[in-house]
Structure formats: structure tokens, C-alpha cells
Structure 1
């Protein structure tokens, strides 16, 4: 069969963009190097409830629902944020990845598992796989952090653990300078099971967090990488980059499903026009539309990450203490959003709360602007 689009990678973003294109009537195939999608697990599995506005989220993949978050400073000062209703879901990512791939297949997408793409010819939309060349009109690189387009990666470790008396609806994060710009997390699956992990390759830091929770047992261990968020060109010739391959992750939490699913919608509309006119120059619109929609938000999150990464443990403790003393937790609960930080950031600036940041840290961020 002659394909309009070849998608490389059957992760959630690749399967989604393939399905969107097939729903528009195009012939689409996916090449995936793994023989089974979703494994090994390489995701914390916490997503915003807004995800269902972009892609179906069946009930059977939802393990838990959360409405609170608690952040700890190096000396254990806590900041508490809560909402009246649930704002996030803890999901079974393996099951979700498989669900999305099946939805693509149901819509006519041809899927080739265990087929690793060795090379892409961007100008001619050719891919080299299993000693043969497959040609299409366009290629979508959704191959994740393994893509040759990804230049910087951060290691991540996560364990599935047993803990007594977990606050089931509350996610917890831990900040200390050694981990920054990363962080550690505890995501509850139930009152006795949780995912504890961190953005670091150092097991000692993970054990430090596990000791705080008095972990009773480790059931599973996972390792992986996340791309470093960056502004970059996300098209090349007849190829577009999407998801982790395009470094489309939030600079603050490194989550990528919301950004990736939204990019899949943009990519589908642009590819539809490009296919109909057989004009690769149209792919520039994908780059422009994506950054038009998310550029400002991403810059704000990059600034927040930069500020935190410049702070030492003593400064982080000071910041947390001042947030509590000035009743800023209320502000965080009112304006805090898992996906968009811009509204909260505006309120912080408006109320001169940015003065809580040490002047020495601000001075080192001037070049950011």
C-alpha cells in the first residue's frame, strides 16, 4: 500500500496523530521498534483531567484521582495546595498506550511492531527499516527521547512501593538543590501503594526519599529518560517532530501528554493541507501554530525552573517559609493549574511576591529576558 504518512513510534502521541490522520481519510502506518507498546513503564502516570478534552480516557485506565498537592523544602517545610474537585488522574500508562494504539488500528492504521526505523530521508519522506526503503508523502517522527532530534536528556528513576497510610488524593513533591532542576515525587495509587521517583540517575537520592516514607517494600523498578524542554525547529523537509522527539514537555514537571496531544491536533490540520497541496513548505505552519499556542506559557515555566535551579537549600527553605508566612498557599490553591502557570505567575508579579526571591537569584536570570 502507498502511504500518505508514515509515523515512527507507537507511543501515545504517535498512535494519536496516526488515528487523527486516518480519521481524515489518509492512508497511515506506524513503525514501532518494540514488540509490545507501553513496556517498560517510563512515566509517572499523573495527568491533568483536561486530558479527556484532547483524547479519550477510558475509566479502566484510571487508577486514582487527586485534588491536592504538597511540596517539601529541603528541611521539610511544606506548602499545601488543594482544590474542591479532582484535578488529576493517576493512570495505568501501559494500558493507556495499548488502548490508544488499538484505537488507531480500529480506524485503519497499519501497525508494524518490532520494526526499528534506522534512518529517515527528510527531503523525500523515505524511511529505512528492516533492509528496505518505505516511501510516503510525509513522515511524523514520534519516536520519543530516542529520536536523533533530541540533544539533551535527564535520567529518571521510579519505584512502585508499599507504604502505610498514604493520603490517597494528595501528590507530594520534594525539592532540594542537589536534584534541581529536577525533583522527587510520591504519587499515590491507593492507601498502600505509590510511585516514588525522581529526575536523577542517583539511587542514593531516591533512597533518601523512600526513607522519609518508611517504605515497606519495593514491588517494581523502572528507569528511563526525559528530554530537556527547549525551543527548536520541529519540522524538517517532509518530516515533522512531535511529542518527546520534539522536546514537547512541560519545563516544570516534564509531563508531555497534554502538549503532545494538542500538537497532534495541530499537526493533523497542517499535514492535511500539505498532503492535499503536496507542498512540504506548509509544514512550517505546524511549527508556528504550536509555538503561537504554547510559546508564552513555556517561557514562563522555563523562567520558574531557572529561578528554582539557581537556589541553594537555604534559599529554598527561606522561600517556602515566606510562602507560608504570607498566606500564599491560598493564592496557589486559587490560581494553581497543572498545565498552565501563566495566570498564577501574573498574580505573583501583581502582588509583588516576586520580592520573596533572593536578589542574587534574580540578577542571574536577567539574561533569560
Structure 2
């Protein structure tokens, strides 16, 4: 007897037990002769263009204030950082309304953004809000990198330009730490000191792209500040400031889809997969390194990171991950498909009988090794199965 191919493939051991117990097939010997075993893989598994997550189109994840949707819910797009930040600040957003119908082929697109926690990031109009100067040091908005910029002068090693909690839009009574990124010039000899540690540190300042420093233990009304001094060696200039929470793992600044075997169509099977996504730079947004960005505060993400993770109980293993440099695209203003494949010898291995999470797909609008605020348009996430390899 012929069994229909189900779009939700059952594990082979379950199919075998059902066939043996089937009524009307007679003795096992007769069953072997007269009954066809249900196929473990139907045609849909042999078509590598089948999108296993087609039913999970992009949707706006639960808000940080959502206390009803369980954390780590299956089969919905969610924030990896939800429940990790202590407070209920909306650190990332996905706007599925503004760009509806503007994706490839008229599909829906969403604006995925990591919120810049730094106030006054471009010093527009020469404003120096969030920055102060001590003793004989001085600050002004007279500097220039991309439009207006902050210029600091520290005549001696005991003078410094400093920041406190007023620079950060999410400052709360609970202390936070931040990665502060910025473009800078005049950094020769520039060092920084965190007032609680009195430890002068010399970062590896970059002349070709954003530099970054770690700012620790900032809370509302804190006396903890970070001071910058260049020991009287000229002026230094900062521009295009970006702040990201550093006390939450950088890989958590992402949107994720957690799946059990039965959460896809067809159902998940162990093996080799490809995860892909279309991306584009949003209109009116500029990369932090764009020479023409001026005082625009709408940052475009310079990187997008895709990740495929396997979960087996408490064991979490990254099977494949890649950060894509959007500034290196031939044209970042047109839709480009990013494709993540598993390295040679890697694949998903899991128990198909489980009803718990086995994999997680992750989309992050940054490079976790150099986190920076920004936004990117995304569309058409896909997960394809390669039964015979790529």
C-alpha cells in the first residue's frame, strides 16, 4: 500500500513502528512483501529551493514591556536580549509598517534598528550636550570631521573632557556599561581614565573608522565619569558617537527565530541548511564612515551578522556565523541577498521526537566584535535544506 508524503515528515523510527503495527497488513513477513514503507524524505526535502520558514514571515517582536509573551518562545521572531537587560528600555526595533511592500518582488520589508543610546551623537549645530570640561580644559562644537564635531582641549595631564550619565538615553538607577564608538582625529597621546579606577588607558585609535572604548558602571546621578586627556598635545576631535550596552553579550543584540522540529513546513530534519536574508541600506541613512553624512543622526548599519545555532538541552552550539560588511557591497542601496552556509563537516544533529527548541536563527544589524548602533532594511528570510550537501 502506498502512504502519502506528509509535509511534516515524521522520524523514520516512528514511521517504521507505525508500519509494523498497521492493521490489515497481516504478518510481518507479509508486510515486508506487500506494504511499501512510508518514505522518510518526500520530494519537498530534495528541493533545495523549499523555504522551511516561509510560514514565519518577518513580524515585529514583542516589546520589552510585554510581560505576557513567554521568554524564549518558539516559532515567533523575538529579541534575543529580551529578559537580559533588567530594565524595559526598547533597545532594538523592527518597523514593518513604513516599508510594507517595498521588499524584493513587492514583499514586505522591515527596518531593523539597534537604538543609539548616545544623545547628541553628531553635535549638530555645534551643541556639546552630554560632554563637560574640568579645570582648564575646554570643549566646543567647532571641530569638523563629518559636519559639526566636538573639539576638546586639555592643556595639562590633569585636565580632561568628561562624560557621565547624561550622555546615555537609557541611564537608570541600575548601573550599565557601554561600548562607546566614534570617529576621531588628533588622538596622538590621547588617553582615558575611568574615575573609579584612576587607570589611564591608551586605546588603539583608528584613523580610518570608528574607535571604541569601554565605559563602565554608569547609573542615574552617578559620579562615575570617563575623562579624556591628551596631556596638552593639541586638540582632539570626536564625531559620529554611538553607544551600545556592553554588559549584555553582543550576540544578544539580535532578532531570533527559535524552532522545534515541527515548527517549520516541512518539519526539520537533521542535516545541512542554508540561511539567507535580503538587506539594503535604508533611505536617508548614512554609514558612520560616510564622508558626506554631515550631521545626520540616522546611522546605517555597517554590518549584518547571520547565525545558525543548535540547542540540545542546555548545550548551545553555533554551527555557522558570518558578519557581512555592507560598506563593501557594490551598491548598498539595492537589495542584496546574504547567504550563510554551514562549514564543511558541520550540520544540525538533533532528536526529531523532541518538542523543544533544536535550532535558532539569528539576525543582527552589527558585527558583535565591533558593536555599533545602526539600521538596515531586511526582507525574505529563508531556510533551505540540502539533503545531499551544497
- The TM tier, using the shorter chain, reads under 0.3
Normalised by the size of structure 2, how large is the TM-score? 0.23
Give the structure with the higher percent helix. 1
Normalised by the size of structure 1, how large is the TM-score? 0.24
Which of these two proteins has the greater Rg computed from alpha carbons? 2
Give the structure with the higher percent strand. 2
